[in-house]
Amino acid sequence: MGKYILDDIVTIIVLYNCSCLESTSYKNLKENGVRVIVCDNSTRDYGNKNIVESDGYIYINMNGNKGLSKAYNAALNQISDDCQFICLFDDDTNISKEYFDKSLEYMNVEEADIFLPIVKTETKVLSPCQFKNKKVIEVRNSNEIDKKYISGINSGMIIRKTVFDDFKYNENIFLDYIDHYFMKEMVKRHKEIKIMEDNILYQDFSIENNTLESAYKRLCILNHDLKEFYRGDYLTYFIQITAYKLVMIKKFKTLKFFYLKNIDSL
């Protein structure tokens, strides 16, 4: 078993309509001295190219918001041959130096394909979780997870590079459920998944939307992605999206959410 070091890891961050200087993840990764690829899905110029390249990192301009899957695939195409592991981060994850120290401890002992940290908010455990009975289930104690149903969110996930020798992200999924699609596929392919029990990340996470406009756009994207994720299972898709619609209708007191646009027209 090889002795892995920090240089064996390449991290990927996808930005959307913000400066990388405002990204908690970017600032933390720079402090930790890890290699970074930034995919920029922004719809206008925030000066990220100059900042990222001045820091010695790889910058990819997606020329508009092309979605998370396309951004990940674009970044994977830039991964160098000396990379052994790929680590994904949202732009708002708090990453301490201890995160990478503990990750390397696991990577140098376990022959796993995927390493999952514990990702928490102030009120809940986001990852790992279970995708069981066609829905995401929060698990407070990771020892209770059935490996047949294990899932997790993208941020903090460490993936052996060889996983991508025969896998690319589903570009028909724009944003939501990309991580659960990935994990479902990895379980199906019998990839070894290790939970890093004492390696914890904290993330700002909210399903709340401040305005009717942003909430409507977000639900249109979710609708698009649920259709792809539950392809061939219309009933489950219908139940899921109807539940989300009712929540938004109750919150904003409008029937606007019953009629969702195609994301190409947003």
Please tell me the predicted confidence (pLDDT) of residue 1. Answer: 52
Rounded distance between C-alpha atoms, residue 15 and residue 160, angstroms = 23
Query: Which candidate, 201, 194, 11, places its Cα nearest to that of 107?
Result: 194
pLDDT at 2: 62
pLDDT score of 57 = 98
DSSP lists the bridge partners of residue 224 as: none
The string of pLDDT tens digits covering residues 21-44 is 999 999 999 999 999 999 999 999
Answer yes or no: is pLDDT of 51 > 60.
yes
Read off the amino acid at residue 136: V
Per-residue pLDDT of 96-123, as tens digits, reads 989 999 999 999 999 999 999 999 988 8
- Encoded tokens for 181: 């699609």
Query: Angle CA(223)–CA(180)–CA(218) in degrees, nearest 5?
Result: 30
The residue among 142, 210, 151 whose CA lies nearest residue 184 is 151
What is the share, in percent, of the chain residues with pLDDT greater than 90? 88
The helix/strand/coil state of 112 is coil
Q: What are phi and psi of 6, to 5 degrees?
A: -60, -35
Measured between alpha carbons, how far is 72 from 88 in angstroms, rounded to an integer? 9
Rounded Cα gap, residues 187 and 180, in angstroms: 10
CATH 3.90.550.60 fits 6-203, yes or no: yes
Q: Where do the structural domains in the chain lie, given as residue ranges?
A: 6-203, 212-265
Give the burial string for 146-157 (b: 16+ CB within 10 Å, else e).
eeebbbbbbbbb
Burial of 140 (0-12, 13-18, 19+ CB in 10 A): exposed
Helical segments of 189-258, H only: 212-229, 234-252
Give the least confident one: 4-8, 46-50, 92-96, 193-197.
92-96
- Residue-wise pLDDT tens digits, 209-254: 579 999 999 999 999 999 999 999 999 999 999 999 999 999 999 9
Give per-residue pLDDT as tens, 114-167: 999 999 988 899 999 999 999 999 998 888 899 999 999 999 999 999 999 999
Instruction: Enter the DSSP assignment of 261.
Output: P
pLDDT for 22: 94
pLDDT at 54 exceeding the cut of 80: yes
**Neighbouring residues of 167: CB distance < 8 A, sequence distance ≥ 6:** 185, 189
